[in-house]
Structure 1
Amino acid sequence: MSDDDKTPAREIIADYARQHFRYFRTADGTVYAQQNGHPVARPIRSQGTSGSHRQELMVGLFNDGHGVFNGTALKEALDLIEALALIQDVQPVHIRVAPGFDGATWLDLGRNDGQSIRIHPTGWDTLTPNPQEVCWRRTQLTGELPLPARDTNGKGIDLLLGLCNFASAETETLALAWLIGCLGPSVPVPAPFLTGPQGAGKSTGGRMLVRVIEGMSGDLRRAPKDEENLIAAVAAGWVTALDNLSHLAPDLSDLMCCIVTGAETIKRALYTDGDVVRARYRRPLLLTGIDVGVIRPDLAERLLPLRLERPRTRRTEAELWTEFEEALPVILGSLLDLTVKVRAAEADIPTDLRMADFAHLCAQLDVATGLTSLGAYRTSLDDLNDDVIEGDLLAQTVLQHAAGLDAGAEERKTSAEWLQVLTHLYTGDGFRPLPKGWPTTGKVLSDRLKRLQPTLTARGVLIDWGRNKAARYIEMARPPAPPPNAQEQAF
């Protein structure tokens, strides 16, 4: 056969690839390859250590007797495949948890055979998902979960709670609510903050909660020093767990708010002048630490404090984790049973809490089990408001001034006038020095009050902004106390 009659290597590779793989693109234009009948998709340009499409294509060609091809032929074939895939329909890829058809959700077990859990309104099943319904994306952070046990009768929940050192039954119910929320792809959940004295097992308890969702390879990590590294870690996994926090800088606090409720980052694509890369993320977040100091009000509304206590008897790490690993199939099976039961429960949506989806989940959990997780969630938010106030001298001064107002009274002043009043109230006769960070202008005061507004509202002090013919003003008011029967109905 002459050289002219030989089929070019790039055509052999392209034909083989299109016979054995399905190619599609995501909304951001990234092209993925999915082996026929398998739910795991890989970006065709990835060179990652978790396995790239280029590698699986080379292995397939070799095993099927087509030989070994050089890099130039592979590149030319992948360039053609990428161009053809860009005109295909858009389909998203998911990490660990994904929405499915007919109200179902999926949980990726991280197995090589692609078996996953389909949670539907009447139960859950272990299946290999249809690639048209779910496409999984795997990274180095995607650990393997065991096949969950059937007919556990709730035994796994008791096993998990018995291994953790939660200080109260209310804390246990909030931990369960958070785990159920982690199985929902569209439900923002507050970030558990595991606190307690030294030796309470905060890191161990955090690892256990993470490993229920991420498998035994899931772990805690130190908070990255910059935003870019933290976003990269968040985007590559499902649950992000940060260990032993002792201080929350304002930038890290703001970034955590974005992680919990969702945000998007845009940066310039490498080796381009005008192209950009979009990264959207909303992930369950978990934190551990004894004390992080002052908590900003916007983060406080997104936290879920879980207090632990020191255990009475100590166990070795090897013994503890061996027992946990053996119990994990039962724990996961019980959690799935409880998730199905909770999703089927009907409950009113609380309209007075910021994380309304999680509050609704707590209400459903209470209906399904008879627990009091919604009340525990309200109490935890109240405690966090106290932490915010105790760490903010301006908030304390505003509450001190508002205490002198009659119920139903309103007081309007410009921001500069409020600054003068509150400064005088804090310094007294002028001998008390102003603390670091005290507002220096009316504009700074107004901005600080906007951050504190939800916290002050929870303490019965309403702050609002308006304008009259003379100037802009800030209004402080104390609403009249509701009648006793209205308070009872609110809870």
Structure 2
Amino acid sequence: MSEDEKTPARAIITEYAQAHFRYFRTPEGTVYAQKKGHPVARPIRSQGTTGSHRQELMVGLFHDGKGVFNGSAIKEALDLIEALALSEDVQPVYIRVAPGFDGATWLDLGRDDGQSVRIHPTGWEITTPDPREVSWRRTQLTGELPLPVKETDGKGIDLLMRLCNFATADTESLALAWLIGCLGPSVPVPAPFLTGPQGAGKSTGGRMLIRIVEGMTGDLRRAPKDEENLTTAVAAGWITALDNLSHMTPDLSDAMCRIVTGAEDVKRALFTDGDVFRVGYRRPLLLTGIDVGVIRPDLAERLLPLRLERPTIRRTEADLWVDYEEVLPVVLGSLLDLAAKVRAVRAETPTDLRMADFAHLCAQLDAATGMGALKAYRASLDDLNDDVIEGDLLAQTVLRHAETISAGAAQRMTSTEWLHLLSGLYNGDGLRPLPKGWPTTGKVLSDRLKRLQPTLAARGVLIDSGRTSAGRYLEMTRPAVPPPHEQRPMF
């Protein structure tokens, strides 16, 4: 056969690839490949050393007797496939959890055979999802989960609570609500912050919680140096757990807020002049530490304090994890039973809380089990408000001044006038210096008060702003009727 009659290598590869794989693009424009009938998808441009689409294509060609091809032929074929895929179906890919049809959600077990758990208000089952309903994306952070056990009668929940050192039943109910929230891709959940004295097992408890969803390879990480490193780690997995936090910078605090409620970054695509790619994420976070210092108000609304206590009987790490791995299938099965039960009940959505979806989930959990999770969640937010106020001298000064305003009355001034009044109230008209970080201009004061609005409102002080013909103003009000869940007096 002459050289002109030979089929080009790129044509052989392209024909084989289209016969054995399904190609599609995500809403962000990335092209993925799936073995036909299999839910796991891989980006065709991945250059990973293990499990890349390029490697699975080379192995398939070799095993099926098509030959061994050089890199340039495979690159030319993938270039053509990528161009063709841009006109194919648009479908998102998911890590660990995904929405499904008919109100169901899916949990990726991380198995090579693609078996996953379909969770529905009517129950759950282990099956392989249709690739057009769910496409899984895997990374090195995607660990394998054991097959969950059916009909556990809640035994796994009891086993989990015996292994963890939660201080109260309220803490246990909040931990369960968070775990159920982690099984839903559309429910933003606050970040649990495991606290307690030294030796309470905070790191161990954090690992136990995340490994129910992430498998035995799930682990805690140290706090990243900057926001970019944090978002890179977050985008590669489902639950991000940061261990032993002792300080939280404003940038890290803001980044955590965005991760909990959802955000998107736009970055320049490598080796291009102007192309960009989007990185969207909303992920569960988990934090551990004794104390992180001053907590900013916006982060406080997104935290879920879980207090642990020192165990009375100590066990070795090896024995503890052997027992945990043995009961993990039962724990996961019980959690899935509870998740299906919670989704089947109806409950009113609290409208006064920032994380309304999680508050609604707590109300559903209460309706299904009678645990009192919503009441515990409200109490935890009140405690966090106290922490914010104790760490913010401006908030304390505002509350002191609010005591002089009659209930139901309002006081309106410009931000500069408010700054003069509050500064004089704090420093006693010059008897003591203003603290570091005190607002220096009316604009800075206005921005600080806007950030403190939810915290002050929880203590019965409303801050509003507006404009008249004379200029902009800030208004402080003490409502005649305090918030229904506010029982504590102001400073």
Whether TM exceeds 0.5 here: the answer is: yes
- d(CA) in 2 for partners of 1:363, 1:228: 36
Alignment of 1:160-239 (within 5 A): 160-239=160-239
Aligned equivalent of 1:481: 481
Deviations along 1:290-348, whole A, 9 cap, x unmatched?
00000000000000000001111110010000000000000000000000000001100
Secondary structure, aligned partner of 2:385: helix
Give the superposition deviation at 1:130: 0.4
Secondary structure, aligned partner of 2:346: coil
Identity, % of aligned positions: 80
Secondary structure, aligned partner of 2:238: coil
Give the superposition deviation at 1:205: 0.3
Give the superposition deviation at 1:49: 3.6
- d(CA) in 2 for partners of 1:242, 1:482: 37
Query: Which runs of structure 1 show a deviation greater than 3 angstroms over 4 or more consecutive aligned residues?
Result: 482-487
2:335 pairs with 1:349: no
Aligned equivalent of 1:257: 257
> Quick one: which amino acid aligns to residue 280 of structure 1?
G
Give the superposition deviation at 1:227: 1.3
Give the superposition deviation at 1:468: 2.3
- d(CA) in 2 for partners of 1:318, 1:91: 43
Give the superposition deviation at 1:47: 1.0
Aligned equivalent of 2:51: 51
Query: CA distance change for structure 1 residues 482 and 383 in 2, over 3 Å: closer, same or farther?
Result: closer
Aligned equivalent of 1:91: 91
Aligned equivalent of 1:271: 271
> Quick one: which amino acid aligns to residue 364 of structure 1?
Q
- d(CA) in 2 for partners of 1:160, 1:484: 35
Give the superposition deviation at 1:272: 0.9
2:101 pairs with 1:101: yes
Secondary structure, aligned partner of 1:181: helix
Aligned equivalent of 1:240: 240
> Quick one: which amino acid aligns to residue 388 of structure 2?
V
Aligned equivalent of 1:36: 36
Give the superposition deviation at 1:484: 8.8
Alignment of 1:222-371 (within 5 A): 222-371=222-371
Give the superposition deviation at 1:469: 2.5
Q: TM-score, normalised by structure 2?
A: 0.98
Query: Is the Cα contact below 8 Å between 1:196 and 1:309 reproduced in 2?
Result: yes
> Quick one: which amino acid aligns to residue 176 of structure 2?
L
- d(CA) in 1 for partners of 2:464, 2:349: 26
Give the superposition deviation at 1:444: 0.6
Aligned equivalent of 1:468: 468
Alignment of 1:1-150 (within 5 A): 1-150=1-150
Query: Is the Cα contact below 8 Å between 1:49 and 1:140 reproduced in 2?
Result: no
> Quick one: which amino acid aligns to residue 153 of structure 2?
N
- d(CA) in 1 for partners of 2:386, 2:485: 26
Aligned equivalent of 1:447: 447
Give the superposition deviation at 1:447: 0.5
- d(CA) in 2 for partners of 1:339, 1:483: 31
> Quick one: which amino acid aligns to residue 184 of structure 1?
G
Give the superposition deviation at 1:195: 0.5
Query: Is the Cα contact below 8 Å between 1:96 and 1:108 reproduced in 2?
Result: yes
Give the superposition deviation at 1:397: 0.2
- d(CA) in 1 for partners of 2:243, 2:50: 25
Query: CA distance change for structure 1 residues 408 and 14 in 2, over 3 Å: closer, same or farther?
Result: same
Deviations along 1:141-168, whole A, 9 cap, x unmatched?
0000000001100000001111000000
> Quick one: which amino acid aligns to residue 337 of structure 1?
D
Aligned equivalent of 2:151: 151
- d(CA) in 2 for partners of 1:51, 1:432: 65
- d(CA) in 2 for partners of 1:469, 1:312: 67
- d(CA) in 2 for partners of 1:132, 1:447: 47
- d(CA) in 2 for partners of 1:50, 1:422: 61
Secondary structure, aligned partner of 1:23: strand
Deviations along 1:60-82, whole A, 9 cap, x unmatched?
01111111111111011111111
Secondary structure, aligned partner of 2:430: coil
Residue range with higher mean Cα deviation, 44-53 or 271-280? 44-53
- d(CA) in 2 for partners of 1:9, 1:200: 62
- d(CA) in 1 for partners of 2:228, 2:83: 30
Give the superposition deviation at 1:238: 0.2
Gaps of 5+ in 1: none
Deviations along 1:329-377, whole A, 9 cap, x unmatched?
0000000000000000110000000000000000000000011000000
- d(CA) in 1 for partners of 2:50, 2:481: 60
2:435 pairs with 1:435: yes
> Quick one: which amino acid aligns to residue 385 of structure 2?
N
Secondary structure, aligned partner of 1:22: strand
- d(CA) in 2 for partners of 1:167, 1:263: 34
Query: Is the Cα contact below 8 Å between 2:456 and 2:462 reproduced in 1?
Result: yes
Give the superposition deviation at 1:6: 1.5
Query: Is the Cα contact below 8 Å between 1:153 and 1:334 reproduced in 2?
Result: yes
Aligned equivalent of 2:376: 376
Give the superposition deviation at 1:50: 4.3
Query: Is the Cα contact below 8 Å between 1:260 and 1:284 reproduced in 2?
Result: yes
Secondary structure, aligned partner of 2:435: coil
Give the superposition deviation at 1:485: 12
Deviations along 1:241-260, whole A, 9 cap, x unmatched?
00000011000000000000
Q: TM-score, normalised by structure 1?
A: 0.98
> Quick one: which amino acid aligns to residue 173 of structure 1?
S
Query: CA distance change for structure 1 residues 483 and 17 in 2, over 3 Å: closer, same or farther?
Result: closer
Query: CA distance change for structure 1 residues 423 and 486 in 2, over 3 Å: closer, same or farther?
Result: closer
- d(CA) in 2 for partners of 1:38, 1:374: 40
Secondary structure, aligned partner of 2:267: strand
Give the superposition deviation at 1:482: 5.6
Query: CA distance change for structure 1 residues 50 and 337 in 2, over 3 Å: closer, same or farther?
Result: farther
Query: Is the Cα contact below 8 Å between 1:144 and 1:215 reproduced in 2?
Result: yes
- d(CA) in 1 for partners of 2:180, 2:291: 26
